[in-house]
A and B are shown apart, each in its own frame.
Chain A
Amino acid sequence: MSDLPLIQADRAVPPPAPTTVTGGRGRRLRLLSRTDRVVITLMVLVPLLLVVGLVWLPAAATVLLSGTNWDGIGPLGEIDWVGLKNYDDVVNIYPPFVPAVQHNLLWLAALFVVATPFGMFLAVLLDKELRGSRFYQTALYLPVVLSLALIGFIWQLIYSRDQGLLNALLGANTDWYGDPHVNIWAVLFAAGWRHVGYIMLLYLAGLKGVDPSLREAAAVDGSSETSTFFRVVFPVMRPINIIVLVVTVIESLRAFDLVWVVNKGRNGLELLSALVTQNVVGEASRIGFGSALATIMLVVSLAFITLYLFTVMREDRR
């Protein structure tokens, strides 16, 4: 009886009368009184209004504005329609666009190929109950607690060409943040440093939930540690794996704060999100042009979201 303390504590509550549990069709209809229907309508309407008002309407407005040359000043009636000119400009005469797409893809690849597997690897190691594993957990997770803006500042102290820690230690003159061939890797390292901790914690939580009897059974059957992990533990953790995958994709699509802190997303650190911000926010106010960039980003995100939903729904149907 010791397995259900929660329920023991509620001994005073009489078990519900069997009639409510076994109520028929008419009973359920009576449950939906007028007040109930109002409450349900409100519960559906309020979130719906919030989603439509805060997500779908702005998204639709962005798509609409991307066909104009609005500069953010004056009434909406004065906006001129320019058709697809903004998209034409983005692709053909806007030099930062192509590097931005490349960098977003590179970001995704680096997190997916290096940072995420490394985070999972660390989680597996920590799951072995090494001595001082709490200390390692804390140390690895600490970067996740810090805001990316703060991380940008910390790495600025390390990467600064003339006054930074790294060049002082190496005695080198590498321009970590200024050289466009180097800075994207420097920033990716900083972003990965944070991402590893995040994935490590997610995965560790998943590993703790794996039934130990599965491992024991595999060990009894003579399976090695490696093949136990890849053939037993990894497949069992499918839900966690999907979450990790989605987190990785989201992190690389919304990558923004770090490059913004470093150099406002210019000179080798172009990212779609930074270009949108440069054009729309601030004095520039190229609302139409920036909206075209934002729409392109929306389409890319939708592709990933569709893929994800498709996989999850197929999963559910099985």
Chain B
Amino acid sequence: MSRPRSQAEYLARLVPPSVAGLNRRSLLAGAAGAGALLGTGLLAGCGSDSGSGGDAKAVSLGSNQSDPKPKDVIAKVMDGFKTSSGVTVNINTVDHNTFQENINNYLQGKPDDVFTWFAGYRMRFFAAKGLAGDLSDVWGKLSGYSDAFKKASTGDDGKQYFVPASYYPWAVFYRKSVWQQHGYQVPKTLDELNSLGAQMKKDGLTPIAFADKDGWPAMGTFDILNLRINGYQFHVDLMAGKEAWTSDKVKKVFDTWAGLLPIHQPDALGRTWQEAAQSLQQKKSGMYLLGLFVAQQFNNDEQDDLDFFTFPEVDSTIGSKALDAPIDGYMMARKPKSEANAKKLLEYLGSKDAANITVKNDPSTLVANTSADTSGYTALQKKAAELVGSATEIAQFLDRDTRPDFASTVMIPALQQFIKNPKDVSGLLTSIENQKKSIFTS
């Protein structure tokens, strides 16, 4: 057979005889038709999904509790609601970080009737933007909450938008066995903390475990120092953008922190909090300022060896009674598919029955409802509850107390910059203040 003379001829020879009779155009028309069918099929698929929410006996819950243990607790609480009310809860669990990062789109789209969230600025922000439902009448039926919790659930307009479920304090954790072995005493003042740190160094320990690779753990250190040095009200005003970051008060916080950095674990910016917690667990570090969740990095038989104290006093006129204790809880979507069921669920979630189920199943958190039966608490939980109960003021945490854009795009790089170079505090504070002005006025 001869070589083809042109490209067209070559291509024409490639068509098998069985297809050669088929018209090219009818083939295209067929493909277009198939495409159209596929398209309508997909659209129909999307449409049928949204109709299921109108069921009178169901309510949906968007949950960020994606870790196995808390997820299990949520499921048990929802089972409790079903037996008490007969309404089924459809739980949509989303990975914790993903849930938080997508919250804007989630709330503006078709959110679940009830969703998990935190108390603090971000809760008030969504309430003010009209993205959350008013829960004042639910609060009328709730009992067992202290005024501090009610205040933490109230939006800028004086109405309640949040039902608290659980909380955990930030404190300085240590291993009892290590402290007994070396005869350490709990420090009550900054000077005592410094001399304890010096002693631990002599004993071959890293005094304070420290990690800030993820950017947020160092916020806990900033919060507690600011609360100890300048008090709660200044902290709140600073977070709200009302106070200047360039003020001497803020400068003193960073100067004090710089003085403490030598007794902190070095190279914190490459370490995750889990790694820092493990250095405490492996008895390489003496203490660690973190939330109660540090206990997750300890084995079950080591839980009793874990103890904590609240961060020592810096200024005797301020004292050491304020602390960070972030509150987790629930909010309602602005237009729930079934408002009656959503409110019924929220009322149950705020009741002592729901709290009792949590106490029985989750040792790493404290329940917000004071009328719950807390006899099932571990020693550590009991002590933590006492600590928060005796606190005069409770802050949420830097990234929950201020605008999220300010916290994540300004404060995280700024605190990391400080840890890198603790010497240029005034330059850093000027940079924070400039960015704060731009963000808070926009």
Contacts and interface: CB of A to CB of B under 8 A. Distances in A.
Contacts of A73: 104, 108, 129, 131
Interface stretch (B165-173, B242-250, B316-324, B410-418): B410-418
Given A7-B13, A13-B17, A177-B213, A283 B420 contact: no
A12 B269 CA distance: 72
B4 interface: yes
B1 interface: yes
A69 B442 contact: yes
Interface in A1-55: 1, 4, 6-8, 10-13, 15-16, 21, 35-36, 39, 42
B404 interface: yes
A93 B17 CA distance: 70
Interface in A233-256: none
Contacts of A180: 269, 420
A71 B405 contact: yes
B103 A178 contact: no
A113 to B, nearest CB: 27
A4 B13 CA distance: 12
Interface string B1-35: 10110101110111111001000010010001000
A21 B6 CA distance: 9
B92 interface: no
Given A6-B14, A13-B17, A162-B275, A278 B435 contact: no
A279 interface: yes
Among B32, B270, B278, max chain A CB count under 10 A is at B270
A178 B1 contact: no
Interface residues of A, number: 56
B404 A283 contact: yes
A183 B270 CA distance: 9
A171 interface: no
Contacts of B65: none
Nearest to A156: B272
A8 B101 contact: no
B271 A267 contact: no
Interface residues of B, number: 54
A147 interface: no
Contacts of B104: 72-73, 283, 285
B131 A35 contact: no
B268 interface: yes
Nearest to A6: B14
Interface string A163-184: 1000000000101111110010
Among B103, B104, B122, B412, max chain A CB count under 10 A is at B104
B409 A95 contact: no
B408 interface: yes
Contacts of B278: 162
Contacts of B12: 13, 16
A195 interface: no
B267 interface: yes
B378 interface: no
Among B4, B269, B412, max chain A CB count under 10 A is at B269
18 contacts: A6-B14, A7-B1, A13-B12, A13-B20, A39-B25, A80-B442, A89-B435, A93-B434, A162-B278, A175-B267, A177-B213, A180-B420, A267-B420, A278-B408, A279-B405, A283-B104, A283-B122, A286-B405
